[in-house]
Structure formats: C-alpha cells, structure tokens
Amino acid sequence: MKILTLLSVFSTFLFVDSINIEDNAGQFFSSGHTNNWAVLVCTSRFWFNYRHVANTLSVYRSVKRLGIPDSHIVLMLADDMACNHRNPKPATVFSHKNMELNVYGDDVEVDYRGYEVTVENFLRVLTGRLPPSTPRSKRLLSDDRSNILIYLTGHGGNGFLKFQDSEEISNVELADAFEQMWQKRRYNELLFIIDTCQGASMYERFYSPNLMALASSQVGEDSLSHQPDLAIGVHLMDRYTFYLLEFLEDIHPASKTNMNDLFKVCPKTQCVSTPGHRTDLFLRDPGSVLITDFFGSVRKVEITMETINLTDQIKQVEENAVNGELQKETYSYVDQLPVSEIIHQKPKQKDWHPPDGFILGLWTLILLVFFKSYGIKHLKHIF
C-alpha cells in the first residue's frame, strides 16, 4: 500500500513538472520570431545636440551586448560627435559626466551618417524600397519572422519629428510606413521607442497589428536633458534614455524581465515628463513578452543524437602524387598596379613659376629707374 502511495505521489510530481516544462517551452516559442533587427536613428546635427548621438549609441551598445550583430543593425547618425573638433577626447562619446562609459566603443559601424540621414532614406529603409546598388549593410533585410526594434531620438513636436532641422516626418507618414511593412511581411512584431518632446503624439496614428510603442513624454510635454558636462559645455544624454540605459545594463541574454518592467523605466519623478506607451495593437500580453525578444537575438540550436569527438586532430589534406613525386601548385599575386613602370618612370618636370615677391621687386626696380631718369614731374605720363 505504501509503495502504491509513493508511486502515485511520484507520478503526480512528474505530471506537474512536465506541465511546467511545457508552459515554459510554450512561453519560449510564443513570440514566433526567428531573427531580430534594430533600426536606431539620431535625427539631430550640431554640437549642442551631442546628447542625441549619445542616446542612439547607448541603445546601439546595449543591443549589440545582448546579441544582435552589426549585420542586423541599421545605425543612422546625423552627426559625428566623436570626430568633432570641439570634443576634448576624440573618438569617444560618453553617456555619464564621470566619463565611465564610452558608448562609441571601438567597433561602431555607422550605416547612414551626416546628410544621408533623411526622411526619405529612413522610410526607404523601413519599406525596403532602396536602389539596387544599395549595399546589404544599409538594408533592413527582415521578413515575417523578424522582431524589429525601432528607436528614434531628436527634436520634435505635436505629430512630427525633425530631421537635421531642415525637414520633418509626421506621425501619419510613420504610421503608413509601418502599415507597408506589415503588408509586405517585413516584421513579426515591432517595438517602437521615441525620445523627443511630445513623443506620444508620434504613435497616436498607428493602426498596424503586432506593434508596441513607447515614448518619453506626453503631448504638450518636453523631453528633458540630463547630465550636463561643463568640460564640453553640453548635456550628455536625455533623461529617458539615460534611465533606459541603466535598466538595460542589468539585462542579460537569459533574463526573464518582461515589457511591463520596461514600462516602469523613468517615472515622472525622474524624467519630469510623463513617459507613455501603447499596447492595444499588440496581440500578446506585454507581461509575457521578454525584453530580449526585441533587445536580444535568437540563438539557433541544432539538436543531434550523434557523438562528436572534439579532441581529434584535424587531418591534413594529402597532396596529389604524380609519378611518385609530390606536386605542389605554385601561386603568384597578380599585379594590381604597374608598379615597375611607376618606379622607373622619370619624374614629370614642373612648370616654372617666379618665386614669391619676384613680380613686386621687378616693378619696384622699374619705378626706381624711371624716377632716376625722369623724376616725379613725368609721373603724369604713366597715369
């Protein structure tokens, strides 16, 4: 009797454990995506907008750390603060006034820079309507199994975001671009984050499914800057992205943190503005959506039942033997330039030019000879 009781308890435990495993597996595969992409855009130029470049590079650094490779990131920076002559520490962009975290790093790959960052190029990247000559690094090669993170920062207003202080994109244009992406099966789920003044106005017109949006401020509110640095004379970051970066620093690839935790980033006591979010278009419960579903990368795993010995030495390729002798192919480099001709050719003779001051000295000599011969009274014959 005791044995039957123990067996029943043990079977019940196994049944409950199997249910938990199935639930975890179901939650793991519930997103349905197989790859991740990120489009990160800074729309502001000029040195006083240093913080917008730092915002974008902070998110860029976080998504790379969590596994999204550069081949799946489209980075658009309207200005190069790292190489600006006002930067006291060239090749660096810092997000904190104590200069602890250099978000520029050593391996930044900027896909669109300077005047390439336009409304047209941004919309073409999203919709895939790029010229055939556009390289792969400048394309968003997503599909219907892709989760896409889109981050925008810059100066904006009620229903628009400025690009380089010369043009602007409206919330209607952005909503239509996302609808084109959905119709063309360019995403599975999309997370939109914007850090700008009146940022919530940019997602009011969204109508495409499987889309979640976050903003740093409500309509009528300003998105404020953070961390002023007296050494360079500008603010280093915006408040919302600063606390977003702090939040992401605690995330690791196996983290179970969900989107509801992201919604709590930078409350009004810290941001001064009121962050907003929209989830009515998203089909899943935000509580079941992991942060790494958008900020991380899917790891492809192939299961095999075969035993693979990783300690065997690599066998060298046997060379072909012809008539009992080993034949080795000889290779040589093709000359890319006529080097021998360039080395032995005679230097081209330069055209002769008079030395500096020669013409002035010549005219001075002519005037002296004239005054010596005729005097000042004959000067009227010259003028």
pLDDT per residue over 206-250, tens digit each?
Answer: 999 999 999 999 999 999 888 888 888 888 899 999 999 989 988
pLDDT band at 313 (very low <50, low <70, confident <90, very high): low
pLDDT of residue 37 exceeding 70, the answer is yes
What's the DSSP call for residue 46?
S
The CATH number assigned to the domain holding 52 equals 3.40.50.1460
Q: Please pick, among 33, 155, 235, 277, the residue that the annotation labels catalytic.
A: 155
pLDDT, average across residues 132-141: 93
Which of 123 and 270 is assigned the larger pLDDT?
123
pLDDT band at 337 (very low <50, low <70, confident <90, very high): very low
On whether residue 57 sits in a domain, the answer given is: yes
Q: ∠27-240-265 over CA atoms, to 5°?
A: 40
* DSSP element (H, E) containing 239: helix 239-249
Task: Please tell me the predicted confidence (pLDDT) of residue 118.
Answer: 94
On whether residue 323 sits in a domain, the answer given is: no
User: Are 27 and 288 a contacting pair, CB within 8 Å?
Assistant: yes
* pTM tops 0.85: no
Instruction: Work out the number of other CB atoms within 10 angstroms of the CB of residue 73.
Output: 21
Q: Which residue reads 């939109």 in tokens?
A: 192
The string of DSSP codes covering 82-138 is GG-TT-SSTT--BSSTT---BSS-S----SEEGGG--HHHHHHHHHT---TT--GGG
Domain, as residue range, for 164: 32-295
Spell out a b/e string for 20-55, using b for 16 or more CB atoms within 10 Å of the CB, else e: eeeeeeeeeeebebebbbbbbbbbbbeeebbbbbbb
pLDDT, average across residues 42-63: 92
Q: What average pLDDT is seen over the chain?
A: 81
pLDDT of residue 48 exceeding 70, the answer is yes
Pairing of strands 234-238, 225-229: antiparallel
CA dihedral 65, 66, 72, 76 (to 10 degrees): -50
> How far apart are the two ends of the chain, measured CA to CA in Å?
135
pLDDT, average across residues 29-46: 85
Task: Please tell me the predicted confidence (pLDDT) of residue 174.
Answer: 96
User: Are 245 and 229 a contacting pair, CB within 8 Å?
Assistant: no
pLDDT of residue 106 exceeding 90, the answer is no
pLDDT of residue 352 exceeding 80, the answer is no
On whether residue 300 sits in a domain, the answer given is: no
Which of 22 and 190 is assigned the larger pLDDT?
190
Task: Please tell me the predicted confidence (pLDDT) of residue 94.
Answer: 86
pLDDT, average across residues 275-303: 86
Task: Please tell me the predicted confidence (pLDDT) of residue 116.
Answer: 93
Q: Which of 12-21, 32-41, 343-352 has the highest mean pLDDT?
A: 32-41
pLDDT of residue 318 exceeding 80, the answer is no
155 in active site: yes
On whether residue 359 sits in a domain, the answer given is: no
On whether residue 366 sits in a domain, the answer given is: no
Q: Which two tokens stand for residue 337?
A: 């330039």
State how many domains the chain has: 1
On whether residue 288 sits in a domain, the answer given is: yes
pLDDT in tens, 64-86: 999 899 999 999 998 888 888 88
On whether residue 59 sits in a domain, the answer given is: yes
83 in active site: no
Which of 8 and 344 is assigned the larger pLDDT?
8
Lowest mean pLDDT among 50-54, 100-104, 243-247, 373-377: 373-377
pLDDT band at 345 (very low <50, low <70, confident <90, very high): very low
On whether residue 201 sits in a domain, the answer given is: yes
Task: Please tell me the predicted confidence (pLDDT) of residue 3.
Answer: 56
Q: Which residue reads 């010995």 in tokens?
A: 309
Q: Please pick, among 197, 226, 235, 266, the residue that the annotation labels catalytic.
A: 197
Task: Please tell me the predicted confidence (pLDDT) of residue 82.
Answer: 85
pLDDT of residue 192 exceeding 90, the answer is yes
